[in-house]
Amino acid sequence: MTPSRRLFLTALGLGTVPVWLAGCGFQLRQAQDFAFKTLYANFSTTSPLGVELRRNLLGSGRIQLGTDPKQMLKADAILDILSEERQQVAVGVSATGQVRELQLRLRVRFRLRTPQGVELIESVELFQQRDLSFNETAALSKEIEIGILYRDMQTDIVQQIMRRLSAVKPRNTPQPA
């Protein structure tokens, strides 16, 4: 095959890829829109989950985040992280009683409400778990792996919270007559 024909066929093939992707409904992830402009963060901004959630909320560029309790009544919505629980459960042990397999669990409960107490998102529990083989001879490397797996689960939960926040529809409040 001649080089010019090969170049033509390659260009033709690459030119049709965007058409195929558009036909299947593929779309790059966009910045999320929220039904509220100001959000009061009623969660610890020093916990790993709080730090990542705050970074994602501020990174959207479409929302003002308040952490001072004086700002709570001025906010359009209040995000409450009700609980965050990390667990390590031994699910497999050897005949001598040594742990061979762990299950890492991360459980987060949250809700979204207005300052008047109207719940926009009722209390929801998000749950992630990962299985991990364990060996006492590689305990240090397993501790590092546990940290990475917890961070991965946390990132997934933060993305789920962000998607749920962006899915909230604005509520029409009746105007006084």
> Residues 109-138: pLDDT tens digits?
999 999 998 999 999 999 999 998 888 788
In a domain, 8, yes or no: no
In a domain, 146, yes or no: yes
- State pTM to two decimals: 0.76
pLDDT of residue 16: 58
In a domain, 14, yes or no: no
Amino acid type, 60: S
In a domain, 40, yes or no: yes
Instruction: Kindly report the CATH number assigned to the domain that includes residue 44.
Output: 3.30.160.150
Task: Name the residue range of residue 151's domain.
Answer: 29-166
pLDDT of residue 98: 84
Secondary structure of residue 64 in the 3-state scheme:
strand
Enumerate residues 6+ apart whose C-beta is below 8 A from 65: 38, 39, 40, 41, 54, 57, 58
Burial class (CB in 10 A: 0-12, 13-18, 19+), 102: buried
Burial class (CB in 10 A: 0-12, 13-18, 19+), 24: exposed
Residues of the chain with pLDDT below 70 are 1, 9, 11-23, 27-31, 171-177
Indicate the number of domains in the chain. 1
DSSP 134: -
Closest CA to 111 of 77, 85, 87: 77
pLDDT of residue 45: 80
In a domain, 20, yes or no: no
In a domain, 11, yes or no: no
In a domain, 17, yes or no: no
Residue 111 near residue 122 (C-beta atoms within 8 A) = yes
pLDDT of residue 177: 45
In a domain, 57, yes or no: yes
pLDDT of residue 23: 65
